Amino acid sequence: MDKRFLSASIIMTAFVLLGAGCVETTTPAAPGPEEAAGPASYVGTWVRQATYTDGQLMHTTPARLELSADTYISSASCVASGTVAVQDNAITMTLDSTDCPTGVIPDVYHSTFEISEDGNSMTLINTEFGAEVREDYIRQ
């Protein structure tokens, strides 16, 4: 197995997953007024459905990602939170605090995102570790 592929898979999976934390899933609700289409359409609570590395399904372990205009909280078996900066379809999450094991969560996470036309699904795409890692989410 390619070392880049393995490293990217481990780091990206650890960022939002960190174990097999349970997250309750529900049918996606329609976006509220604060989640209207446009630059802030990423705002809301998202539940991860699947993670792919270079197109290969890695896992379907759910995780919860809460995004506001300028902060995030990521939770599964541990919790990480910090600030968010968005420009066009690029998102940067900077870690402020975590109860995850040291060194597992990157201090800064850069990715791009795509929001479905109906606003109920989002994909985060990261290539900074040498492989394309895609995480598919539905709006909660």
Looking at residue 33, which CATH number applies to its domain?
2.40.128.280
Residue 7 Cα to chain centre, angstroms = 17
Q: What is the pLDDT of residues 5-59, one digit of tens each?
A: 444 544 454 444 343 333 443 444 444 444 444 444 899 999 999 999 999 999 9
Say how far apart CA 75 and CA 119 lie, in whole Å.
Answer: 22
Number of domains into which the chain is organized: 1
Q: What is the pLDDT of residues 94-126, one digit of tens each?
A: 999 999 987 778 899 999 999 999 999 999 999
Q: What is the 3-state composition of the chain as percent helix, strand, coil, each rounded to the nearest 5? A: 10, 45, 45
pTM beyond 0.85, yes or no: no
Strand residues in the chain grouped as ranges (E): 44-53, 56-59, 64-67, 71-75, 79-87, 90-98, 108-115, 121-126, 133-139
Domain housing 105: 3-139
